[in-house]
């Protein structure tokens, strides 16, 4: 695999095509993947022919996405989770023949299961329909439509996180204990030993690292109940990385807001542990990597667009600095 354009302690970012990049990676090398793929042609990110956002709509997009899903399956470890962010997509009367919604999540589920992964479930991310109405001016969310013909009104469009895993036993279980458990230090010590073998945290004393790891080992029942909910109500839509506006190129038409850090944190809390390799094949400005590094995970990302990759480099270095020496390699 070629050298990344950007890298730091515990992370690497490639300004290149993610499908080619994943085929250059060792098989079964990713512990957890968290990403938000292009939503068909809903947003324009770049003019690159390699950009999935330029593949077209409907079946044309899915035909190209299948190659990505196969590459992702190749690099995921057995029993580990890929977390895919999506939403329903609007249909346009001029293009699709009617105003409605495309079941984009269903398309993604079929693509990933056809590629060999198992659909593990989904959670719904609640979003304020008033904010959506103000942002999109969608006819179906306007109050005046109630007075005109309420049959044309619709509910707001939430986001979804889809979860997939590769069949097989997880070779490295993610263990947790209730707060105050006598086994907490034992598990934290096991995690630390693994991280040392991987060349991580060599410059930090054991006591400092163990203190941090204990925060990740303990998992109380109330936190679990929130994350096990089919609707995540704790997502702050405004909690996103800054800098995405600066990362826009001159030719950009539109740009979607980065994935919320709360969403990423929930996924990593459930499906990874410190020292794990987290991947985002659609890196953007580095939201997944930023949160992964702050939570003592390693990170690898792929981003086609040079402007996004350059901004992500700044964000990832900021996350690395905030982690201090706890996660630094020798």
The verdict on residue 204 lying in a domain is no
pLDDT average, residue stretch 160-176:
93
As for how many domains the chain has, the answer is 1
How does residue 73 score in pLDDT terms, banded at 50, 70 and 90? very high
pLDDT at 119: 98
Instruction: Pinpoint the alpha helices (H) of the chain.
Output: 18-24, 59-75, 93-96, 104-114, 129-136, 143-149, 184-197, 206-217, 221-228, 261-271, 287-294, 306-323
pLDDT in tens, 194-231: 888 888 876 677 888 888 899 899 999 999 999 999 99
The percentage of the chain sitting over the pLDDT mark of 90, rounded to a whole number, equals: 55
Is residue 316 in a domain? no
pLDDT given at position 281: 97
- The CATH number covering residue 39 comes to 3.40.50.150
Task: Kindly state whether residue 275 falls inside one of the protein's structural domains.
Answer: yes
Residue 203 lies in a domain: no
In a domain, 48, yes or no: yes
Question: Is 80 exceeded by the pLDDT of residue 158?
Answer: yes
In a domain, 69, yes or no: yes
pLDDT at 157: 84
Domain enclosing residue 259, as ranges: 24-176+221-281
Measured torsion, CA atoms of residues 152, 153, 155, 159, in degrees rounded to the nearest 10 = 60
- Fill in the DSSP letter of residue 241: -
254 has a pLDDT exceeding 50: no
Predicted local confidence at residue 243, as pLDDT: 57
Highest mean pLDDT among 24-28, 54-58, 197-201, 215-219: 24-28
Q: What is the pLDDT of residue 253?
A: 43
Q: What pLDDT does residue 4 have?
A: 87
Please say if the pLDDT value at position 257 is more than 80: no
264-284 pLDDT, tens digit per residue, is 999 999 999 999 999 999 999
Taking the C-alpha atoms of residue 266 and residue 226, their distance in angstroms, rounded to an integer, is: 10
In a domain, residue 184? The reply is no
Return the top range by mean pLDDT from 6-10, 124-128, 173-177, 267-271. 267-271
**6-8/100-102 β-pairing:** unpaired
Residue 330 has pLDDT above 60, yes or no: no
Rounded mean pLDDT, 9-31: 95
User: For residues 231 and 159, what is the distance between their CA atoms, to the nearest angstrom?
Assistant: 10
Task: Tell me if 233 is assigned to some domain.
Answer: yes
Identify which has the larger pLDDT, 67 or 147: 67
């Amino acid at each position: 695999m070629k050298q990344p354009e950007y890298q730091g302690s515990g992370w690497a970012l490639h300004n290149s095509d993610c499908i080619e990049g994943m085929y250059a990676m060792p098989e079964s090398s990713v512990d957890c993947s968290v990403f938000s793929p292009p939503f068909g042609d809903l947003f324009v990110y770049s003019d690159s022919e390699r950009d999935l956002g330029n593949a077209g709509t409907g079946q044309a997009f899915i035909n190209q996405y299948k190659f990505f899903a196969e590459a992702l399956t190749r690099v995921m470890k057995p029993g580990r989770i890929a977390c895919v962010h999506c939403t329903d997509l609007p249909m346009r009367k001029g293009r699709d023949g009617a105003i409605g919604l495309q079941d984009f999540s269903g398309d993604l589920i079929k693509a990933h299961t056809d590629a060999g992964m198992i659909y593990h479930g989904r959670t719904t991310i609640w979003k304020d329909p008033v904010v959506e109405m103000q942002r999109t001016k969608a006819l179906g969310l306007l109050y005046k439509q109630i007075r005109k013909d309420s049959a044309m009104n619709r509910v707001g469009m939430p986001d979804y996180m889809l979860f997939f895993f590769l069949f097989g036993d997880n070779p490295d279980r993610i263990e947790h204990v209730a707060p105050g458990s006598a086994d907490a230090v034992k598990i934290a010590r096991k995690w630390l030993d693994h991280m040392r073998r991987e060349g991580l945290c060599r410059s930090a004393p054991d006591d400092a690292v163990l203190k941090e790891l204990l925060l990740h080992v303990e998992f109380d029942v109330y936190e679990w109940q929130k994350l096990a909910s089919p609707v995540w109500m704790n997502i702050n839509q405004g909690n996103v990385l800054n800098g995405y506006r600066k990362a826009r190129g001159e030719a950009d038409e539109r740009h979607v807001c980065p994935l919320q850090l709360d969403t990423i944190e929930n996924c990593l809390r459930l499906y990874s542990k410190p020292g794990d390799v987290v991947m985002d094949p659609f890196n953007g400005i580095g939201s997944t990597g930023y949160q992964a590094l702050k939570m003592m995970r390693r990170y690898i990302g792929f981003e086609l667009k040079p402007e996004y990759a350059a901004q992500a480099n700044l964000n990832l270095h900021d996350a690395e600095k905030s982690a201090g020496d706890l996660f630094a390699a020798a």
